[in-house]
Amino acid sequence: MEGTTKKDIEGLLKNQGFNWLRSQRNRRIFVLGYALILALVASGSYYKQFKEWFAVDSLIPLFVLIAITLLTLAGFSLLRVSVRGIAEAPDELLDERQRSIRNSNYRYSYLLLGYVVIVFMILLSIAPETRPFSEGEQGDASFVYISLLMTMASLPSMVMAWRERDI
């Protein structure tokens, strides 16, 4: 994962690679894919329920869980690359146009955050066990919490990647 040092952000702002992430259409597809991955992470809390409903011994093999974890981490890094790290960059490293789009997208992210929290509150209310990392018979809500934290961290970049035409 990229860090948030001055050198990292300057490198992201000047990055000439990952051209497939520079078009708005591709970035929107990427955002949808990343949102799906976050949903898969949250669904890990219902793993035991899924096993009961579908009457299978092993619904999600271990390697699939590892793949989802790696995809989440890779998706988070690529998301920051797609928006050149602008969403997290401090004022002094951005020009006025970049500051303007960063601030505008934070405003939309904050509005969306309320709806995101409501969705997760609903998920937690129906999660088998709302205490994280517990060893209950039916499982726990750890994955829902992890997905929520990743969503909150990614939201500004996701909104920017979706809304901006060229970055």
Per CB under 8 A, residues contacting other proteins are: 13, 95-98, 100-101, 104-105, 163-167
Q: Least distance from C-beta 102 to other proteins, angstroms?
A: 9
Q: Least distance from C-beta 107 to other proteins, angstroms?
A: 9
> Residue 47 or residue 162: which is nearer to other proteins going by CB?
162
> Residue 10 or residue 52: which is nearer to other proteins going by CB?
10
Q: Least distance from C-beta 97 to other proteins, angstroms?
A: 4
120, 144 in Cβ contact below 8 A?
yes
Tally of residues, the chain: 167
Q: Least distance from C-beta 26 to other proteins, angstroms?
A: 17
Tokens of 27: 């970035």
Tokens of 142: 């750890």
> Residue 1 or residue 165: which is nearer to other proteins going by CB?
165
> Residue 13 or residue 81: which is nearer to other proteins going by CB?
13
Q: Least distance from C-beta 117 to other proteins, angstroms?
A: 23
> Residue 57 or residue 166: which is nearer to other proteins going by CB?
166
Half-sphere exposure of 116 (CA within 13 A, CB side): 24
User: What CA dihedral angle connects 3, 78, 83 and 160, to 10 degrees?
Assistant: -110
Closest-CA residue to 136 (of 42, 40, 43, 49): 49
3-class state of residue 48 by DSSP? helix
Q: Which amino acid is at 63?
A: F
